[in-house]
Structure 1
Amino acid sequence: MAGDRLGAAPNGILLVDKPGGITSHDVVARARRALQTRRIGHAGTLDPMATGLLILGVGAATRLLTYLVGLDKTYEATIRLGVSTDSDDADGAETARADAAAVAAVTDDALRAGVAALTGELAQVPSRVSAIKVGGRRAYDLARAGEEVELKARRVTVSRFDVLAVRRAEGVLDLDVVVDCSSGTYIRALARDLGAALGVGGHLTALRRTRIGPFDVAGAVADLAPGVELRSAAEVAASVLGVFAVTADEARDLRHGKRLIGAASRLPSPTPAALDPAGRLVGVVERRGEDVKSVMNLAEEAS
């Protein structure tokens, strides 16, 4: 179902397969040109080196992005052990190189133990070259200015960290991995920490995001051409939040800020998407005692 109607301002969710070598903001700029609108936002960025799934909100549907940024994600990556960089990825400058004999001495059992230690709930210190703000400035800006950056550890969850292939060469050890993780997990930091635990250093040489919540990169577009089709806000909200079906009268009341008295027992999830009989997104609702109240509304013409 397309997210916009003929003659209407574009509105909906766009799944994009980002190529390498450009920023997420470059992708947003291309989408703005293709759709001829400035009102586009994203639900989480990818580094320039990385490829894969980006979720863009267009028009009124940008209001849904707050419900998408915290979704779990899947990444495919290549970790190079034996070399460290100042950014923990291949875009950074090399800072250390382990002795070839030390890298060769890393056994398969040691690899398995190192990966296992980085699986589950972790206290992860993000890469110093990250978009996290420190005193109002991005960490990567501080690092590039030569300032010391100390980032606090964050609680993240790595539910899967599987090694798909191991390639040994002179002085380096490359691992192809797949990672399922909570939002806010840095795959670069996993590479850094695995290398540190094994005593040889490590960094990321390739990264591809293949999934965000229920959305797979296989359903994303690579060509941001005029007329690219958007997913409707209703379709996306329903798949992420669950559906709270409402009558036409209830839809009108929610849009007017009224509570639905005694309707909380019908809620399928804490913050489901309210859909009217025509399948249009009214907004996102939540329980208030025994009642239901809207926490985010979409105007009827944008739903």
Structure 2
Amino acid sequence: MAKPPRNPASGILFIDKPQGITSHGVIARARASVGTRKIGHAGTLDPMATGLLVLGANNATRLLTYLVGLDKQYTATIRLGASSNTDDAEGELSTPAAAAALAAITDDAISAAVAKFTGPIMQRPSSVSAIKVDGKRAYTLARSGEEVVLAERAVTVSAFDVLEIERNEFIDVKVRVDCSSGTYIRALARDVGDALGVGGHLTVLRRTKVGPFTVETASTLGDDLEACLIAPAQVAGTLFESVELDDQLSFELSRGRQIPLGDVGTGPIAVVNPSGRLIGLAEVVDGRTRILSNFPADAVAVSQEGEPSDG
């Protein structure tokens, strides 16, 4: 039997990841700060990247399924004038493009190249992505010397805005990208550089939004992360319509019984009890309620609320 967590408190953590630490390093720090081993994530960031990392502790890990597929926003710097075998600054750079070739690239040409990769596009992920190939991560194969060419996939870049262009030895293009989950910003840097004929790679990457959640309100690794846990009901209520049931109906719904939820959408619907605790996510199909995911009470909540009878 698995040991119960030292701290059974459940919640979502929004963390502003600093540069130079892996996402799994952040998770290890969160486990120590919160006091539980049961912490999951809704998508990682590379060590060079900073910004919003979404973690879930204990029972709130069940909510991560609904967070991982949300649209993302990033700010980034694309360096034009050299490609990289990892599509970012951590890889081996190619021979720089000739100064004359860079000088010939106008601001309008950069904007046109960016526009080419805006909207629904087919994108070939970077060879050092976490996508699995025959059961192994692509980055593991690539770093062991194997040639990895991944299949293109459909993604949506809903906005790709040029914020600033700086010209020195290279051309640094600062951009903001709004995109679907699964979009690789490194691959956008590579493809924009290829479209302009001078190569390109990513030098700066910061995730600023995940769905409606922004990095401005995120915690840092220097904070008391246990105190920073956001209640699952608050997060679910931001994502979905909420319905409050009394204790008896909440108990029955959590046991899989059909409970009428009134005039609500098809789902997911966040169901909370009178104390504001998330009971579960549900959907209504043909007038019948079906639980998509239960959220059992933490030990502290059970002792405070008690449980209604099953009569």
State the AA in 1 paired with 2:291: S
1:300 CA displacement:
3.0
Contact kept, 8 Å, 2:76 with 2:175, in 1: the verdict is yes
Contact kept, 8 Å, 1:259 with 1:293, in 2: the verdict is yes
Contact kept, 8 Å, 2:219 with 2:225, in 1: the verdict is no
In structure 2, which of residues 154, 171, 174 is the aligned counterpart of residue 173 of structure 1?
171
State the AA in 2 paired with 1:124: Q
Q: Name the stretch that deviates more: 199-208 or 89-98.
A: 89-98
Structure 2: distance between partners of 1:101 and 1:226: 51
SS at the partner of 2:15?
strand
SS at the partner of 2:52?
strand
1:267 CA displacement:
2.4
Structure 1: distance between partners of 2:283 and 2:85: 45
- With structure 1 as the length reference, what TM-score do the two structures score? 0.93
1:208 CA displacement:
0.5
Contact kept, 8 Å, 2:247 with 2:274, in 1: the verdict is yes
SS at the partner of 1:165?
strand
Structure 1: distance between partners of 2:275 and 2:196: 57
Contact kept, 8 Å, 1:82 with 1:173, in 2: the verdict is yes
The C-alpha deviation readout for 1:202-260, integer Å capped at 9, x for no partner, is 00000001111111111111124464321001000110122133333321121111122
What is the 5 A alignment of 1:50-61? 50-61=49-60
Change (3 A) 1:129 1:297: same
Q: Name the stretch that deviates more: 280-289 or 226-235.
A: 226-235
Structure 1: distance between partners of 2:131 and 2:193: 23
SS at the partner of 2:94?
strand
The C-alpha deviation readout for 1:55-84, integer Å capped at 9, x for no partner, is 110011011100100011110100000110
Which residue number corresponds to residue 118 of structure 2? 119
What is the 5 A alignment of 1:1-303? 9-170=8-169, 172-222=170-220, 223-225=222-224, 227-261=226-260, 263=261, 266-268=263-265, 270-301=267-298
1:269 CA displacement:
5.0
SS at the partner of 1:20?
coil
Contact kept, 8 Å, 2:7 with 2:35, in 1: the verdict is no
Contact kept, 8 Å, 1:122 with 1:158, in 2: the verdict is yes
State the AA in 2 paired with 1:187: I
Contact kept, 8 Å, 1:244 with 1:268, in 2: the verdict is no
The C-alpha deviation readout for 1:27-72, integer Å capped at 9, x for no partner, is 0000111112100011100000000000110011011100100011
Instruction: Report the identity percentage.
Output: 54
Runs (5+) with no aligned partner, structure 1: 1-6
Structure 1: distance between partners of 2:149 and 2:90: 20
State the AA in 1 paired with 2:296: A
Runs (5+) with no aligned partner, structure 2: 1-5, 302-311
Change (3 A) 1:289 1:269: closer
Which residue number corresponds to residue 306 of structure 2? none
Contact kept, 8 Å, 1:78 with 1:176, in 2: the verdict is yes
Q: Name the stretch that deviates more: 7-16 or 89-98.
A: 7-16
Change (3 A) 1:226 1:45: closer
SS at the partner of 2:83?
strand
1:289 CA displacement:
2.1
The number of aligned residues is: 294
Contact kept, 8 Å, 1:30 with 1:224, in 2: the verdict is no
Give runs of ≥4 in structure 1 deviating > 4 Å.
Answer: none
Structure 2: distance between partners of 1:242 and 1:101: 57
Which residue number corresponds to residue 3 of structure 2? none
Contact kept, 8 Å, 1:282 with 1:299, in 2: the verdict is yes
Structure 1: distance between partners of 2:43 and 2:7: 27
State the AA in 2 paired with 1:181: C
Contact kept, 8 Å, 1:242 with 1:269, in 2: the verdict is no
Contact kept, 8 Å, 2:266 with 2:285, in 1: the verdict is no
SS at the partner of 1:254?
helix
Structure 2: distance between partners of 1:25 and 1:224: 18
